[in-house]
Amino acid sequence: MKALILSAGLGTRLKPFTDNHPKALAPVNGKTLLEHNIRNLQRFGIYDIVVNVHHFADQIVHTLKANEGFGSRFEISDETDVVLETGGGLKKAIPFFLEEKNILILNVDILSNIDLAKMLSHHEDSQAMATLAVQKRNSSRYLLFREEQERRRLCGWRNVQTEEEKLPCPAMSPSYEEYAFSGIQIVQQAFLHKISQHGKFSLIDVYLSLCCTESIMAWDHTGDLLLDVGKPESLEQAAVLFKN
C-alpha cells in the first residue's frame, strides 16, 4: 500500500516556528514530524510515500533528498502555486496512485500509535469505499455515524461550538453517534474517481457528499495514543508521549 502524507498546510497554529519552516519539519525528540510518520509507516511495511508540499516546499524536498527518504521511496506532489487543502491535495496526487488497490492518507501533524494493519484488515473486510480512523474523545467538531450491520457508517458532521450541522442523508436514521476524526484514512482506488469537487476543498466535504450512496465507514481506535501537533505546547507534549 502506498501512503499520501499531507504536508502542504501553512501550520499557522505552530507559529512562530512556521514563520520560517513548514510544520512537517517541526522537531519532536530530535526527529521531524515528517520523519516520525515515515518511520511509523515502515513499521507496517509501507515504504512507498507521496508527500504534498506548499509552505516552504523546498525545505521538505531538501530534507527528503538529503536523508534518502529516511529509507522510503518518495514522490512529491507539488502545490507550490496554491495550497489545495486535504481534498484538493488528494485529487492533485491521483496520478501517483493509479495502480494502488487502497491508499492510506494521513496528516503530517498527527502522531499516533494506531495499528494500521488492523485498520487495513477492517477496511478490506467491510469492503468500505473509505475507512476513517475515529475516536471517542472531546473535540469541537464531530463526524456522525449510524450503526449499519454492526458497523458504523458516516451520515453527518457537527460543530458543537457553532452548532452548525451537515446532515446530507435525511432519510437515514436520526440516531447517530459522535466521533472525533483522527486525520487518518484508507480509501479504495475507486474513491479517487468519485471526487467531483474542484480547486481547494477538504476531504471531509468529499466524504459528506458521498456518504448517502457510498460506504464511508468508521474505524474506532479509541484508547490509542493520538496527538494533533498543531500548537507549540503540543510539541512539548509529543516529546513526552512519543519518546520511542
The 10s digit of each residue's pLDDT in 123-150 is 999 999 999 999 999 999 999 999 887 8
Q: List the grid coordinates of 97.
A: 496512485
Strand pairing of 48-53 and 2-6? parallel
Grid cell 446532515 in the structure block, residue = 167
pLDDT of residue 102: 98
Mean pLDDT of 63-73: 98
Burial tier of 78 (Cβ tally within 10 Å: 0-12, 13-18, 19+): middle
Q: Are 142 and 158 in contact (CB under 8 A)?
A: yes
pLDDT of residue 10: 92
Burial tier of 153 (Cβ tally within 10 Å: 0-12, 13-18, 19+): buried
Q: Is the peptide bond before 170 cis (omega within 30 degrees of 0)?
A: no
pLDDT of residue 230: 80
Strands in 36-92 per DSSP E: 48-53, 73-78
State yes or no: pLDDT of 171 exceeds 70. no
Q: Which of 216, 218, 240 is nearest to 227 (CA)?
A: 240
The CA-based dihedral angle spanning residues 174, 176, 181, 185, taken in that order and rounded to the nearest 10 degrees: -90
Strands in 136-215 per DSSP E: 141-148, 151-159, 164-166, 177-188
**Residues contacting residue 160 through CB under 8 Å, at least 6 positions apart:** 139, 140, 141, 142
Q: Please, what is the average pLDDT of the chain?
A: 94
Neighbours of 233 (CB within 10 A): 9
pLDDT of residue 150: 82
pLDDT tens sequence across 179-227: 999 999 999 999 999 999 999 999 999 999 999 999 999 999 999 999 9
pLDDT of residue 172: 66
Q: What percent of the chain has pLDDT over 70?
A: 98
Q: What percent of the chain has pLDDT over 90?
A: 87
Q: Which of 79, 77, 74 is nearest to 49 (CA)?
A: 74
